Structure 1
Amino acid sequence: MDEAGKRPSKIEEMTEKKTFRPKRAMILAAGLGKRMRPLTATTPKPLVEVAGKALIDRSLDRLVDAGVETAVVNVHWLADLVEVHLARRSSPKIEISDERGALLETGGGIVRALDKLGPDPFLLFNSDSFWIEGSRPNLEVMFEAWDESRMEALLMLASTVETVGYAGPGDFVMERDGLLARREERKVAPFVYAGTALLHPRLFEGAPEGAFSLNMLFDKAIEADRLYGVRMDGLWLHVGTPDAIAKAETKIRESAA
């Protein structure tokens, strides 16, 4: 309550809320890129170009626009090529999480990098997808929606039927307040995880050592009612196969027309 004993209105509470802006991010770039072969026989998937720009640079440019200062990038397959490419960038600052010795999957890779990511919530990007913005910058929407008191993770979600390069049954159903639940078996879910998330380091408390999927921790957060999502505005482009490159390039040309 204020000095006069009045309870702040909902609008006043929203106005007073300070938007969280992460300064660090992680880009998952250590995968083998098997579905992208034969391109990835000699080129790591993060360096595959779409419309003249490497996939990983699309992620890094997005982070710069959002004010992220440091990006941790994990490397494994053709790691030297990824490191040489990243050394050419002046921003954001790049820190390498080396997985040459063993591929740790999505969850294990983040656990390996936690010391570099620090104690605050951080952004996570998959390096094989990006999006064409809609009317509002999607990362800004995520930052505004973040609520550390309720969330362990906040996922960017795309409509299952409004994507490029994705043909699966979806991942999640979402309540009006953003709370997420898994798709039921043999059913189609309205939303697919778009490969971008805001994660609190406490999500990884008690996580196993070695290789494991981040999905295991998403399920743990669901059980605690602490996994949330926001629907992205725009078009999600998943570039997981050679065929998807041409489809993504077509959509990029159409959006620029």
Structure 2
Amino acid sequence: MTLTRAMVLAAGRGERMRPLTETTPKPMIAVHGVPMIDRILARLAAAEIEKAVVNLHHLGAKLRDHLSHFSEPPLVFSEETELLETGGGVKKALPELGDAPFFVCNGDVVWLDGYQPTLERLRRHWDPERMDALLLLQPSPVAIGYDGPGDFVMDPQGRLRRRREREIAPFTFAGVQVLKPELFADTPDGPFSLNLIYDRVIERERLHGLRHDGAWYHVGRPEDLERAELELRLELGGGHEERMAAQE
């Protein structure tokens, strides 16, 4: 089996989700009754991940305590004395992630699988001969709670480029990806964004995407949380009357 290790990015302050994140780490915020990070770890366990690294900073002790009951997948924590951003956080955790490609999941994403488990689809699609990074993408028009201009354009071979100025991109990054560890060579020590790596890989035409085939929910602000709660309730068991009311 390929892709047996994963990282969950959970260190951020969740500024846009205040005041909820003043007392609760954003990944612990419940959507439809389940903390977002619990859903992610359950999917990693189902994908038979052998080790998952969770980085900690904002309210880190509270998050560590919350995760103490998880045995699958086995967890390792990466403590950050300063926020290292997405790229710096992954780079710090590389000794635990090993020398093979790995999954990285944002700790605050919510998705529903389509016909196959999403992580298994990424695993099957991953081709290290053609790719250095593989991003899960949600079609922007059906990204629930998202009203931005999108992130990427994908060509027929699955290669990605950035949205150009004043362009509306058809795909939004869905917060789940596969990365090669060697991508972090010659990157800064300390904080930096994974966008630095994406731009380098785009130049080599080795950043690829996979279109998500299920629902995906943007949960960035308290109002997004309310929308995700409603949509998940409808998707997972809401009645006809509730659906009609939501459309009015």
Smaller-chain TM-score range?
over 0.9
Unaligned ranges ≥5, structure 1: 1-19
- Under a length normalisation based on structure 1, what TM-score does the superposition of the two structures give? 0.90
Residue in 2 aligned with 1:199?
Answer: 179
Structure 2 residue 91 is matched with structure 1 residue 111: yes
**Per-residue deviation, 1:136:** 2.4
Map 1:174-193 → 2, pairs under 5 A: 174-193=154-173
CA contact (8 A) 1:154 1:197 kept: yes
Structure 2 residue 39 is matched with structure 1 residue 29: no
Residue in 1 aligned with 2:59?
Answer: 78
Map 1:1-257 → 2, pairs under 5 A: 21-99=2-80, 101-257=81-237
Which SS does the other structure have where 1:133 is aligned? Answer: coil
Summarize deviations over 1:4-46 as a string: whole Å, max 9, x none.
xxxxxxxxxxxxxxxx531110000000111000101111111
CA contact (8 A) 1:47 1:55 kept: yes
Q: Which amino acid aligns with 1:79?
A: G
Structure 1 residue runs of 4 or more that deviate by more than 3 Å after TM superposition: none
- Under a length normalisation based on structure 2, what TM-score does the superposition of the two structures give? 0.93
**Per-residue deviation, 1:61:** 0.7
CA contact (8 A) 1:156 1:196 kept: yes
Q: Which amino acid aligns with 1:181?
A: R
Summarize deviations over 1:127-154 as a string: whole Å, max 9, x none.
1112112222222221111111111100
Q: Which amino acid aligns with 1:202?
A: E
Q: Which amino acid aligns with 1:120?
A: A
Aligned residue pairs: how many? 237
Summarize deviations over 1:111-132 as a string: whole Å, max 9, x none.
0000010011100000111211
Which SS does the other structure have where 1:165 is aligned? Answer: coil
Q: Which amino acid aligns with 1:47?
A: M
Residue in 2 aligned with 1:14?
Answer: none
Structure number with greater Rg is 1
**Per-residue deviation, 1:53:** 0.9
**Per-residue deviation, 1:166:** 1.5
Between the aligned partners of 1:228 and 1:163, the Cα distance in structure 2 is 19
